[in-house]
Amino acid sequence: MRYRALFILVSLLAFCSQLSAQSVEEELGFIYMKAEYLLETDRYDEAIAQYTAVIAQDPTYKDAAIKRTKAKFALKSYRGVKKDILEMISVQGIDAESVEMLGLAEHHLGNHQSAVNSLVLAHQLKPRSLEIIEALAVSANQSKNSEVCDILSSVKGSVNVKNYLNSYCGTAVATTGKKGNGTKPSKPGKTTKPKSDKTVIVETTDRVIVDSELEEVIKDVEEEEETIIDDTVNTIVIDEDLTILIKNGIGSRKVIDQPNILMLSEQSGIVKVNICLSKGGRITSGEIDPAGSTIQSESLRSLALRKAKEFWFARGDQEESCGSIEFIINGG
């Protein structure tokens, strides 16, 4: 009898767990559908928020991650696109869409050599994309890269493509559609294989297995991302007893509104508050940095933290930006 009761209990728990999983799946499906509608109606900010809610629960749910990058791309938040793609690659691996979006983001950010590296691969996977071809032609021209003649001479060219061909591949290619040696170009829509013995394999799921060449491209992008640091210091003089420094990653963000601040103290020193901002410029989190603060007064620290959270900044490119606000107090 005891074992029977135990079996029933275990069965009930398994059933409840199944119901809970179904409930989560239904909730994600509803949020995803809402995000799809918002994206289709060009309400990109709202779509990003909904896709973010989905990704927070399941980073691999359908195509929510790549759809969020497309919404950011529509808002011209190219740095946010790049960040999302690198995160997505680390979770889901590389596919045609991620390579294309990374290349286009690098192109718009002006990182033209990195753009060429990604766009060459993107063209292999999506040879009919005119957007890839246009971006590749411009970035190759800007970075003075003369190694994509085979690709660009094999497609129907716009002004940007012809400019590149004239500059690096000989005028005969641009004007007659033939290479300087008289050989016929490949048919439009086909891609000449790059001069490399490395391979890229596309599976039927459109998931891409890439070799060390693409891994090296991604490594370069990640290293470049790490070096992009906002080291601007925004100095705000409140009065002769108080100066505020906004720095460590958010100094270049314009202050839209700041609170009225009055700090009276008999001691001089610093209270440092670490904060994070939303894309819209609101403070999402804040805490005292003990290592960066020389004033130990709890009342002053509490006041500084409260006032730091009342700042409002201009809209940024990234979903979240973090930095610090330092209250430099001249006591006495």
Mean pLDDT for the stretch of residues 52-81 = 90
Task: Evaluate if residue 51 carries a pLDDT over 80.
Answer: yes
Same-domain check for residues 207 and 268: no
Does the pLDDT value for residue 245 go beyond 60? yes
pLDDT of 323: 94
d(CA 221, CA 22): 39
**For the chain, how many structural domains are there in total?**
2
Round the CA-based radius of gyration of the chain to a whole number and report it: 27
Domain carrying residue 262: 234-329
pLDDT in tens, 72-109: 999 888 899 999 999 888 888 888 899 999 999 999 99
Over residues 267-291, mean pLDDT: 93
Q: Is residue 120 part of a domain?
A: yes
CA 245/CA 247 separation, integer angstroms: 6
On whether both 221 and 241 belong to a single domain, the answer is: no
Residue 70: closest CA among 91, 42, 90: 42
Domain edge (last residue) among 198, 227, 256: 227
| pLDDT tens-digit series, residues 119-142 | 999 998 888 888 999 999 999 999
Within a domain: residue 210?
Answer: yes
Among 317, 86, 40, which Cα is nearest to 51's? 40
197 domain-assigned: yes
Average pLDDT of every residue of the chain: 80
Return the DSSP state at 183: P
Confidence of residue 22 (pLDDT cuts 50, 70, 90): low
Type of residue numbered 15: F
Question: 28 lies in a domain?
Answer: no
Mark whether 204 and 175 lie in a shared domain: yes
**Least confidently predicted of 22-36, 58-72, 150-164, 225-239:** 225-239
Q: Among residues 190, 212, 227, which one ends one of the domains?
A: 227
DSSP-assigned letters across all residues of 173-234: HHHHSS-TT-PPPPPTT--PPPS-S--EEE-TTSBEEE-HHHHHHHHHHHHHHHH------E
* Per-residue confidence (pLDDT) for residue 94, from 0 to 100: 84
> pLDDT tens digit string along 196-217?
444 444 443 444 444 455 566 5
Q: What is the DSSP letter of 178?
A: S
pLDDT one-digit tens code per residue, 226-242: 545 678 999 999 988 99
Task: Report if residue 45 sits inside a domain.
Answer: no
Residues 297 and 209 in one domain: no
In this predicted structure, what is the pLDDT of residue 136? 92
Residue 7 lies in a domain: no
Of the residues 184, 200, 227, the one at which a domain ends: 227
